[in-house]
Every structure is written in structure tokens, then in C-alpha cells.
């Protein structure tokens, strides 16, 4: 049977990883038999943001509010990290992503819900109004 030609928009993982996108998706799926495209793309964005934040961990106080990077912990505030990852791949600089992450940590400590922070970041990302 002949392989179907890919039509439409390329997947997020193809944009990020190029030719190794299929292997990357298997890693993201974590052994699960089925995972939706949306779950795979959301996880890819969250891990992209986690990578940026882990590089800048020394300059971000209370980073464990968003993600705990210790090996024994698996805590990640996926919805906020997802929006930060989308910012990073949408043309915003890494420095600005770190600034928004610091603001999100401050808002979380001040009692705002994760959903409120996610909506604020999404609105700023899409409209450019912060």
C-alpha cells in the first residue's frame, strides 16, 4: 500500500523537529497507544517552555510554582507552560517569555487561578496587548 501524501498544515512537531518528528511524537506519547494531535502539540509546546525556563532557572525565583524540574517530581502547570511555549515559537524572544513567566509566578502567588493566568497570556500573545 502506498503512503498517503500529507495534505494541509504540517503538524507542530514537524515544524519543531523536522524529519525526526515521528520519533519525537512517540517520546511525547510516553508509551500510550493513542494520543490526539492536540495532546501531542500541547505537550510539545509545554516541553519547549520548560526547556527555556530550565535554562534560566537561576534567575527565576519560585520556579516550582510553574514546574518542578527535580527528577523525582513530575509537576508541571501544563496550561501556562503551553502558552509560554506557543509564545516562544510564535516569534517572542526568550527574554520576554521569561519575563511573562516571572509575572505568571507572581500572579499565582497572589492568588490568581491557573485558568485566569492562562487566559491573560493567551490574550497578550494573540493581541499583543499586555
**Spatial separation of the C-alpha atoms in residues 65 and 92, rounded to whole Å:** 22
Q: Please tell me what DSSP assigns to residue 76.
A: B
Distance of CA 124 to the CA centre of its chain: 16
**Spatial separation of the C-alpha atoms in residues 71 and 82, rounded to whole Å:** 21
Domain spans of the chain? 46-127
Q: What is the pTM of this model?
A: 0.76
Q: Please tell me what DSSP assigns to residue 65.
A: G
pLDDT digits (tens), the chain, 130 positions: 566 666 666 666 666 666 566 665 666 666 666 677 788 788 888 888 988 998 998 889 988 888 776 666 667 788 999 999 999 999 999 999 999 999 999 999 999 999 999 999 999 999 988 8
Amino acid at each position: 500500500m502506498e503512503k498517503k501524501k500529507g495534505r494541509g498544515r504540517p503538524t507542530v512537531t514537524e515544524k519543531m523537529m523536522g524529519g525526526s518528528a515521528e520519533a519525537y511524537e512517540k517520546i511525547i506519547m510516553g508509551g500510550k497507544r493513542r494520543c490526539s494531535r492536540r495532546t501531542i502539540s500541547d505537550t510539545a509546546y509545554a516541553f519547549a517552555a520548560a526547556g527555556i525556563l530550565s535554562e534560566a532557572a537561576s534567575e527565576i525565583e519560585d520556579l516550582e510554582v510553574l514546574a518542578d524540574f527535580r527528577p523525582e517530581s513530575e509537576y508541571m502547570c501544563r496550561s501556562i507552560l503551553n502558552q509560554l511555549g506557543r509564545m516562544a515559537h510564535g516569534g517572542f524572544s526568550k527574554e520576554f517569555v521569561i519575563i511573562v513567566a516571572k509575572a505568571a509566578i507572581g500572579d499565582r502567588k497572589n492568588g490568581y487561578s491557573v485558568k485566569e493566568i492562562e487566559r491573560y497570556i493567551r490574550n497578550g500573545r494573540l493581541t499583543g496587548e499586555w
